[in-house]
């Protein structure tokens, strides 16, 4: 499905279109500031470059050098020197010199994505996006009011990406009582004047619905300069594609294999979408292993072809407690051959009936690239304990779901890379329940007595809008 066979990128000018087909193509910086498209769709590049001829050269690069090569293909309206500085500044905040290192644990390579300021994979994208917002506002003028919804990690990573930055306010909604205590503390202990935390009386899906409904009110969105940090923002997904390339190169060199497979714990489909796009660009990925917890709308889809809502269930992996995956529409757009009208028909089915369906292929699958499974709380706790006992490595409960499902799909030809999406110290109770003892990290220990600021609000779009207007 690669859209272009060209490998001469010097004259490439990348434009962005909506999955729903009702807007003219726009450039990268406009796509970043737009977030959700005016027609309610999600933005995607008009085409994906085929980078097959670049793989050998790219495999020798550092993380920041590789990030520049990948991102520059899509951010063609930012001068090279400016983009390099944005990338270098963004990843200078990470604790590990490799930014996203891989470690061998048992049969798997564990890709550690938690070495950023908030100890979660969201930092990889949101440190970059925060600097990108500042860069665009500095050049263009104006203000930005960010409205976001979080099931746990996005909120704190977004807040830490833009805290204290001039001309930016950030409003983050989280479901009251449904994030881990440390996730909540990481958000609500940031007291900068431009940061506003809202605890919504509802689920993450409710928070996400408020956000999407507000962005769907185009006069309100444009009149109040709203922007998005959720993975509806294309720059988020783009930044995440980089670590698929980086870890694949390391694993291929280490093992001598010709291809790899990735196991990705996901609830909102953004992280695994980044892997899908990397594969479409030419990275040799033989399988994407999609792992969900009890909130299994995505694993049910890839096993049956039907994408149907269910009530969200609180679990020990709260960042995946999602039943409406905001990035799924982007994948579906490719699935229907980039046919915007067919995509709109499917999304209307989902909106009206709570379900949509696609036909299975001749192999009886939705997509031969994907396999999928789920892990429940008991099995997740068991695998955390087993990996601690057997390998001395503590998995956070989200990563543990990915490892659990990966064990079902191992391949002798393709080594498996499991994405470690958060540091285990963020989920103290789950780790104690699994292993009998807590894991600590100084960044989190420092929050114990921190002052917090947060406002509880009803699950009501109009009340959230009123709050935003009052505080911008």
- Write out the catalytic residue numbers: 122
Three-state DSSP class for 422?
strand
Nearest to residue 30, comparing CAs of 41, 14, 19?
Answer: 14
Helices (H), 74-201: 80-91, 122-140, 153-162, 181-188
Distance CA 185, CA 177 (A): 12
DSSP string of 36-80?
A: S-TTS--EEESS----GGGHHHHTTS-HHHHHHHHHHTT-TTS-H
- The H or E element that residue 261 is part of is strand 260-265
Name residue, tokens 């429940």. Answer: 376
* Contact between 279 and 369 (Cβ < 8 Å): yes
Distance CA 155, CA 36 (A): 18
Three-state DSSP class for 341?
helix
Name residue, tokens 């009803």. Answer: 458
Distance CA 26, CA 37 (A): 10
**Cross-strand partners of 104:** 109
């Amino acid at each position: 499905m690669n859209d272009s066979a060209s490998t001469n990128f010097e004259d490439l000018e990348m434009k962005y279109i909506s999955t729903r087909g009702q807007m003219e193509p726009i450039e990268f910086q406009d796509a970043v500031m737009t977030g959700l498209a005016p027609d309610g769709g999600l933005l995607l590049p008009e085409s994906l470059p085929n980078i097959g001829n670049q793989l050998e050269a790219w495999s020798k690069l550092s993380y920041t050098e590789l990030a520049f090569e990948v991102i520059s293909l899509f951010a063609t309206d930012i001068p090279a020197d400016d983009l390099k500085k944005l990338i270098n500044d963004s990843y200078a905040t990470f604790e590990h010199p490799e930014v996203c290192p891989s470690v061998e644990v048992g049969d798997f390579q564990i890709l550690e994505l938690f070495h950023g300021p908030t100890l979660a994979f969201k930092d990889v994208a949101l440190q970059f996006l925060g600097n990108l917002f500042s860069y665009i506002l500095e050049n263009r003028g104006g203000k930005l009011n960010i409205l976001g919804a979080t099931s746990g990690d996005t909120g704190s990573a977004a807040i830490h990406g833009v805290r204290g930055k001039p001309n930016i306010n950030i409003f983050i909604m989280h479901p009251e009582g449904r994030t881990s205590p440390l996730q909540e503390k990481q958000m609500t202990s940031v007291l900068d004047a431009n940061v506003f935390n809202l605890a919504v009386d509802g689920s993450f899906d409710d928070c996400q619905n408020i956000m999407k409904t507000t962005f769907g009110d185009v006069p309100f969105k444009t009149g109040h300069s709203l922007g998005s940090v959720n993975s509806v923002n294309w720059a988020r997904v783009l930044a995440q594609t980089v670590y698929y390339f980086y870890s694949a190169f390391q694993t291929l060199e280490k093992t001598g294999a010709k291809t790899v497979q990735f196991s990705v714990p996901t609830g909102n489909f953004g992280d695994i979408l980044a892997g899908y796009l990397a594969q479409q660009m030419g990275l040799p990925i033989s399988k994407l292993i999609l792992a969900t917890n009890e909130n299994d709308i995505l694993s049910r889809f890839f096993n049956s072809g039907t994408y149907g809502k269910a009530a969200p269930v609180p679990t020990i992996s709260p960042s995946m407690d999602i039943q409406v995956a905001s990035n799924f529409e982007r994948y579906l757009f490719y699935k229907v051959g980039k046919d915007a009208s067919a995509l709109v028909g499917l999304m209307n089915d989902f909106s009206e009936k709570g379900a949509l369906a696609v036909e299975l292929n001749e192999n009886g699958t939705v997509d031969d690239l994907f396999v999928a499974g789920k892990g429940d709380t008991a099995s997740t706790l068991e695998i955390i304990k087993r990996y601690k006992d057997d390998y001395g490595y503590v998995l956070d409960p989200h990563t543990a779901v990915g490892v659990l499902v990966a064990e079902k799909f191992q391949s002798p030809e393709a080594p498996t890379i499991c994405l470690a999406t958060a540091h285990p110290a963020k989920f103290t109770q789950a780790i104690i329940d699994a292993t009998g003892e807590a894991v600590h990290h100084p960044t989190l220990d420092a929050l114990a007595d921190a002052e917090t600021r947060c406002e509880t609000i009803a699950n009501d779009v109009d009340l959230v809008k009123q709050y935003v207007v009052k505080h911008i």
